[in-house]
Amino acid sequence: MEKNIGFIGLGIMGRPMVLNLMKAGHKVTVYDINESAAQKLVHEGAVGAKSPKETAENKDIIFTMLPNSKHVEEVVLGENGVIESAKKGSVIIDMSSISPVVSKKIACEVNKKDIEMLDAPVSGGETGAIDGTLAIMVGGNEEVFDKVKDVLHDMGKTITLVGDNGCGCTAKLANQIMVNLNIAAMSEALVFAAKAGIDIEKMYNAIRGGLAGSAVLDQKVPRILDRNFVPGGKISINLKDITNVMETAHDIDVPLPLTGELLEIFHALKADGKENDDHGGIVQFYEKIANVQVKRS
């Protein structure tokens, strides 16, 4: 069933998600602080809005896809925010990767206005957003989830309710630990092999069918060999996510020694001017300290 939708945040992920919603027949009103990003989608059939408040007026569902916790809080609860115009019974679905604590706080505030909220961060990167094959991990009320599940399927392939408000964000942070530590481990192995003089492409083909094989290996090794660090998931965004991981872990007294080291690697890459590279660029940290480059023979 077609919905009247608002969508705030039209970056690398948000833009293709909006296109898939429109392709599915939904009417989508869009807003972004970058006016040109919104105008491009207006030219492709979306309706433009001048504020989050205007975006949310008379909408069934309002999506947010923003860089961090403070942006989501400001857009939803701030002046000219979503909460000022969203109708009773509407559903705010935040698909950003933010702190579970902040997500639960926002949900509590909008619930006071009889507005529902789900946290529904995604995995799959820009490719998944374009193809409509994102994995979406959802936190919130099951009845609300059931009402909007079909719309989520217009943007994703695997849609899973993992628990109450905040649980989607927690699942995404756990996902970020696994993905980025996997990339870091792969990077160590690639640099080790490159320094030893092995043909990396042959090694990759030899190990990808075994236990070391993974989606990370298949997505990142060919790009690294091509020295292609155009971002699907920027180092800066993953730095933000891993910072959220460590802050949340400290709040609940969970030591994460490997993730702590990963955070320092991200900070080193940022200091080296690599923050806008894809997170496959983690390999560049290891290359620099080993004085070797992973490339085709």
Judging by DSSP bridges, how do beta strands 116-119 and 156-163 pair with one another? unpaired
Cα separation of 50 and 8, whole Å? 11
Cα separation of 67 and 75, whole Å? 12
Q: Which residue has the tokens 């070797």?
A: 292
CB-CB neighbours of 283 under 10 Å: 26
Q: Is 138 helix (H, G, I), strand (E, B) or coil?
A: strand
Catalytic residues: 172
Reported as half-sphere exposure (CB side, CA atoms, 13 A), residue 60 has a value of 12
Are 53 and 81 in contact by the 8 Å Cβ rule? The answer is yes
Cα separation of 33 and 59, whole Å? 20
| Burial of residue 188 (number of CB atoms within 10 Å: 0-12, 13-18, 19+) | middle
Are 128 and 159 in contact by the 8 Å Cβ rule? The answer is no
Cα separation of 253 and 203, whole Å? 40
Q: Which residue has the tokens 């993905």?
A: 179
| Burial of residue 39 (number of CB atoms within 10 Å: 0-12, 13-18, 19+) | middle
Cα separation of 68 and 290, whole Å? 33
